[in-house]
Amino acid sequence: MSRKLKNILVTGGAGFIGTNFIYYLFRKTNFTGRIINVDLLTYAGNLESLEAVEAEYGTGGTEGKAGRYVFEHADICDGKRMAKILRQYDIDTVVHFAAESHVDRSILGPEAFLRTNVTGTFTLLEAVRAYWTDKDGKFRDDVLFHHISTDEVYGSLGKEGYFKETTPYSPRSPYSASKASSDHLLMAYHHTYGLPVTLSNCSNNYGPFQFPEKLIPLMILNMQQGKPLPVYGDGKFIRDWLYVEDHNSAVWMIMNKGRTGEKYNIGGENEWENIRLLEKLIEIVASQTGKSVDSLKKLITYVKDRPGHDRRYAIDCSKLKSELGWKQAHTFEEGLQNTVEWYLNHNDWISHIRNGEYTKWLENNYQNR
């Protein structure tokens, strides 16, 4: 049986995966409800990514579809504001993407990670608990809080083995520790108060709209500009890569049909050593730009390792596949080709997000409602 998801609050919808999720829902599914995108627009958020959605589905959008998409500039740590938004739009579903998401930044400055990932998640949970319960503290039966998390909560693998849903948590960076805390809070609200929740832990995503501090977009853009390609440590760290739309199709499937109170791992079954992945990317960038493979390989620069760098992540997603019938729709080759093409053709988006232009524009123009 499928849930009736009507008025969906998407947190962090102006970031990488949230933006792709909003496009996915409007363009690739039969969703007929409304999306309220709540985002603080930190350095990682860019409303420009959603201009096409705003034009078609925003309040001033194309007739007939207008009003199915609303943006609210807000901080998830602001409990009063969250309560107001829940009421104002009669929210029945939350899908919680908003987070500080980059491991290197969490090493340099962990505080923002605790604030948004832990306090922010707690604040949202409290807001829905107040809004979705009756006077006896009983939850409405048409509500759902889906929390987006990462495989990094499980820690680091050796050469063998996979992360399963039952693998004990062992986070090793301030980022993964803050995400682990948010997962625990979610499950605590389910077990203690009966909040209807689902949780997903996904491996590394790649695709359009990713902030170019993460491995794949950073390398593509450095190749385009002839800059060094910084490889941490010996380059033999392993990640399991998944195209962002395939992550979102899994999230949507879990939100619709996943068992309440359950967690599901999502992964690409696609492990690559960083250095091998970089060589693959070099071939694709060379073929799309006409640059020579040799000239791009000369840019590879081994640099000092990230402190506490997790050696290997690999996901066992058999529960998601066997219970819900999920499968990936994109091969790695296809996904990488699309991604390289997208970054090579979106120079304005890249310069705007890198210069924090939307944040500056907001500071000057946006009326906080």
Q: Which active-site residues does the annotation give?
A: 151-152, 175
Q: Which of 5, 8, 9, 14 binds ligand NAD (CB under 6 A)?
A: 14
By CB under 6 A, is residue 103 in contact with ligand TYD? yes
By CB under 6 A, is residue 97 in contact with ligand NAD? yes
Distance between CA atoms of residues 124 and 94, nearest Å: 9
Q: Report what 174 binds from ligand NAD, ligand TYD, none; CB cut-off 5-8 Å by kind.
A: none
Q: Which of 355, 366, 348 is nearest to 71 (CA)?
A: 366
225 in the Ramachandran plot: left (φ > 0), alpha (ψ -120 to 50) or beta? alpha
Distance between CA atoms of residues 242 and 322, nearest Å: 18
By CB under 6 A, is residue 204 in contact with ligand TYD? yes
DSSP helix/strand/coil, 116: helix
Total residue count of the chain as it appears in this document: 369
Distance between CA atoms of residues 26 and 290, nearest Å: 36
Within 278-307, which residues bind ligand NAD (CB under 6 A)? none
Q: Report what 75 binds from ligand NAD, ligand TYD, none; CB cut-off 5-8 Å by kind.
A: ligand NAD
Q: Which of 187, 218, 286, 344 binds ligand TYD (CB under 6 A)?
A: 218
Q: Report what 237 binds from ligand NAD, ligand TYD, none; CB cut-off 5-8 Å by kind.
A: ligand TYD
Segment contacting ligand TYD (CB under 6 A): 9-17, 46-54, 210-218, 342-350?
Answer: 210-218
Segment contacting ligand TYD (CB under 6 A): 67-75, 194-202, 225-233, 314-322?
Answer: 225-233
Side-chain half-sphere of 39: how many Cα atoms within 13 Å?
30
Segment contacting ligand TYD (CB under 6 A): 39-47, 113-121, 128-136, 214-222?
Answer: 214-222
**Sheet architecture: strand order including 238-243:** 204-206, 238-243, 271-273
Secondary structure element (H or E) that encloses residue 197, with its range: strand 197-202
Applying CB under 6 A, the residues found at the interface with ligand TYD are 103, 204, 214-215, 218, 230-232, 237, 239, 274
